[in-house]
Amino acid sequence: MNRFPLWKNLLVLVTVVIGLLYSLPNFYGMSPAVQVSATRTTHIDETSVTRVKRALDQAKISYVEARLVDKSVRIRFVDTDPQIRARDVVQKEFGNDYIVALSLLPNTPAWLRAIGAKPMNLGLDLRGGVHLLLQVDMRAVLKKAEETATDDTRRVLREKKVRYQTVTRGEGGSIEVRFKDAVERDRGLKTLKNDLQDVVFTERQRGADYLLAGRFSEAALKEKKRLAVQQNITALNKRVNELGVSEPLIQQQGEDRIVVQLPGVQDPAQAKDILGRTATIEVRMVDEEAMTGSGHAPPGSKVYRTRQGGQIILKNQLVYSGDNITSAIESFDNQRNSPVVSLVLDSRGGAVNQRVSGENIGRRMAIIYIEIKSEPKLDANKKPVVDAQGRAVRETVRIEEVISSPVIKSQLGRRFQIEGLDSMKEAGELSLLLRAGSLAAPVEIVEERTIGPSLGAENIKRGFQSTWVGFAAIIAFMIVYYLMFGVTSSLALGANLVFLVALLSMLPTTLTLPGIAGIALTLGMAIDANVLINERIREELRNGNSPHASIHAGYERAFGTILDSNITTLIAGLALFIFGSGPVRGFAVVLCLGIMTSMFSAVTVSRAMVNLIYGRRAKLERVAIGNTRWEEPRPSQPPKP
């Protein structure tokens, strides 16, 4: 009645062993470290590790280890003093072409790393790091959308052979199409309504001109803003991953803001450099008439600086941009004896490139390199500007230069090459940035916070101290009140804690202070299930049932109540996860995982232990649980003759 089959006992044993193995890394702690990562134009390999070791040895700075991990050199130290000194030494050795940042690394042994065991991902409030709030420039998003819609209007009317006079951008972001007569305007209205559904066109009359005025619908504007934020999040994720920052959190906040959290990074200037630098390209036609004429930019054109230091006049009409690039690979062209970047465009970019190049054979098409980065703001004396707190003030700088303006010799398609690059280093830089994705709109850092590792360590200490105190109090009560059944319940509760920590370590979740509160709540809820089971066993014993029957009935009949209570709590946890955000979702994740582990530990693990203790004996002479005791009645002695 109270015996598990062999496979079920083995299942419990294997589960407990796996839980212990994958929870162990959390007990080894973290070490201060320095991380050396490559930028867009550099490379990290084993020779970089040798350089690091040589520089630290010459500076007589002791370190635990220096090794190559995930395309970055990670140097581990005993405490923070040599870490800070080493950061300066390594930065001097490698220069500004590399990113040298302070971080924290887990002390997980190699044999645990070999099986994929790692500590839990800790949030900023526990591990320390950099928190940035970025504001997306929605005006740039709308401006870019209006330019694209204006170009699409020209393209659609031209393809449908609708005769128009001009297509210009009007005031307030409108698109204005001018026709010679009402008949062509009606044709144009019908055509544009079918092909440009995001833009609402209305008829207007201005003197002898027949006009169509187009504006984006409210739904289209909202969707373009949403897509811009999502594209920026994707680009920032790729950028951070390219540079080796571990466990970043990049998510949307509100309509036009992005939260970036970089746990373990203690240098906000380096974090800003990682996020603030991105690049893209734009392709525009050269204004040949202006170049051969007065040399001044007429309306509809703009003067750009070339890489060689000269000037060139380009038309404002955008042919396509980095948004249309799906692949970018650097290579060396042996025929031209120069580096190139081979690009592949998406279907829309390829169609536009084919049409524009076919219509402008013999003319020049310019490729503009645009880089947006955050730099320290300098005063008139070229000295860094600081704020009231003594922190360096940074500003967003936009660099635009024409890297190539080749003559179109034949019609182009989806594949083409960028020439005019100075070196393979520059080609690699450009291709990496284009692969990482361009920002849909510039971003501005509106809030920054740096949480030191010492504060995070204090949060961890207090959070886990409270959890252990509650855990010890529960164990003491259960053992005193329920005796041996309290011991098995306490062991099951310990297994539940092991399972929960192991799951949080194995899954891509981040533990924060609210998550620690969820662990404490889970322990209280888990022991509640064992209390229900033990009280049910006591009730069966008081009713005169045998110990084996009472134990069996206690687990079987209490299971329904335990299941109902946990399902209702799980529903509440899922609602918190779906509708909550930030710390609330972190709490909900721990709560939902804890419900599943507590069900398994309270019902299966505890019963496996009870079965091992009592189930091996066919007959029990006495059982005590709380103040309820059961003893086998002794047979009455026959009267003596």
> Per residue in 46-60, pLDDT tens?
888 999 999 999 999
What does the block give as tokens for 437? 């994705």
Q: Are 550 and 610 members of one domain?
A: yes
Residues 396 and 328 in one domain: yes
Judge if 461 and 586 occupy the same domain. Answer: yes
Instruction: Pick the closest to residue 26 from 592, 449, 467 (CA basis).
Output: 467
> And the tokens for 235?
């680009």
Between 34 and 544, residue with greater pLDDT: 34
Q: Please say which residue of 167, 189, 218 terminates a domain.
A: 218
Q: With bands split at pLDDT 50, 70 and 90, how would you rate the model's confidence at 219? A: confident
List the structure tokens of 343: 């690009």
Pick 79 or 615 by higher pLDDT.
Answer: 79
Q: What is the pLDDT of residue 16?
A: 93
Q: Are residues 603 and 490 in the same domain?
A: yes
Question: What is the pLDDT confidence band of residue 455, given thresholds at 50, 70 and 90?
Answer: low
- Are 17 and 68 part of one and the same domain? no
Are residues 293 and 430 located together in one domain of the fold?
Answer: yes
Residue 131, domain member (yes or no): no
Tell me, yes or no, whether 583 and 443 share the same domain: no
Place of tokens 């109902």: 564
Average pLDDT over the chain reads 80
Query: Does one domain contain both 422 and 520?
Result: no
- Residue 514: inside a domain: yes
CATH of the domain at 588: 1.20.1640.10
Residue 419 has pLDDT above 90, yes or no: no
Model confidence at 632: pLDDT above 70: no
pLDDT in tens, 230-276: 878 877 776 676 545 556 778 888 888 888 887 766 666 656 665 65
The residue type of 576 is: L
Report the CATH number that the domain containing residue 198 is assigned in CATH: 3.30.1240
Within a domain: residue 532? yes
Is the pLDDT confidence value at 297 over 90? no
Mark which of 391, 425, 449 sits at the end of a domain: 449
pLDDT score recorded for residue 392: 65
Q: 65-79, 364-378, 480-494, 529-543: lowest mean pLDDT where?
A: 364-378
Same domain, 428 and 482: no
Q: How confident is the model at residue 22 (pLDDT cuts 50, 70, 90)?
A: very high
DSSP string, 513-536: HHHHHHHHHHHHHHHHHHHHHHHH
Q: Torsions phi, psi of 77, nearest 5?
A: -130, 165
Residue in this structure with the two tokens 């014993």, named with its chain if needed: 541
In a domain, 263, yes or no: no
Q: What is the pLDDT of residue 376?
A: 67
Indicate whether 1 belongs to any domain. Answer: no
Instruction: Considering only residues 353 and 436, tell me which one the structure prediction assigns the higher pLDDT.
Output: 353
d(CA 284, CA 356): 10
Structural domain including 147 reads 139-218
Look at residue 632 and tell me if it is in a domain.
no
Residue 500 pLDDT: 92
Claim to verify: residue 19 and residue 43 sit in the same structural domain? no
Residues 513 and 410 in one domain: no
Q: Is residue 121 part of a domain?
A: no
- Looking at residue 498, what is its pLDDT? 92
Closest by CA to 481, choosing from 431, 444, 435, 535, is 535
Using a cut of 0.75, tell me whether the model's pTM lies above it.
no
Report the domain count for the chain.
4
When comparing pLDDT for 393 and 182, which is higher? 182
Give the C-alpha separation, 150 to 166, whole Å: 11
Quick one: which H or E segment has residue 495?
A: helix 484-506
Confidence class for position 18, pLDDT limits 50, 70, 90: very high
Mean pLDDT of 176-201: 87
The answer as to whether 303 is a domain residue is yes
Quick check: 181 pLDDT over 70? Answer: yes
The confidence band for 472, taking pLDDT boundaries of 50, 70 and 90, is: confident
DSSP assignment of 548-590 equals HHHHHHHHHHHHHHHHHHHHHHHHHHHHHHHH--THHHHHHHH
Q: Tell me what percent of the residues of the chain surpass a pLDDT of 70.
A: 83
Q: What is the CATH number of the domain that holds 413?
A: 3.30.1360.200
Take residue 575 and report the two structure tokens written for it.
């609602």
Mean pLDDT of 47-75: 88
pLDDT over 70 at 62, yes or no: yes
39's tokens = 């930028």
Least confident range of 284-298, 360-374, 427-441: 427-441
**Of the residues 166, 188, 218, which one is the last residue of a structural domain?**
218
Q: What pLDDT, on the 0 to 100 scale, is given for residue 21?
A: 93
Give the CATH number, domain containing residue 72: 3.30.70.260
pLDDT of residue 470 exceeding 70: yes
Q: Indicate if 443 and 536 belong to the same structural domain.
A: no
Q: What is the pLDDT of residue 274?
A: 59
